[in-house]
Amino acid sequence: MLRALLRAMDDGEAATPGELAGKLGVPEALIAQMVAQLVEQNYLAEAVLGTDRCTGCELNAACGEAGGMRLRLWTLTEKGRRAAFEE
């Protein structure tokens, strides 16, 4: 199942945990657990983008988030890419 998740994440499309869960036919909570395990084992790299402080930003109203906007992204590491496609 971990290999299936790695392959699903390497298809070039951004996907939410819910979309990945639907694609793999598993609960979203399981996706969260698997992502955490894959990050811990260095198969995925995590990046957190955004800020907690939008109060001075002229785009604050446009982001729709009171107090800030944060986005988490995960990408396959080289180790993850090899694991996804090895036989």
Global confidence as pTM? 0.72
DSSP class per residue in 19-87:
HHHHHHTS-HHHHHHHHHHHHHTTSEEEEEEEES--TT-TTHHHH--TT-EEEEEEEE-HHHHHHHH--
Domains detected in the chain: 2-85 (1.10.10.10)
Q: What is the pLDDT of residue 15?
A: 86
Q: What is the pLDDT of residues 38-86, one digit of tens each?
A: 999 999 998 876 655 555 666 555 555 544 556 778 889 999 999 998 8
Q: What is the pLDDT of residues 4-50, one digit of tens each?
A: 999 999 887 878 899 999 999 999 999 999 999 999 999 999 887 66
CA distance 19 to 57: 31
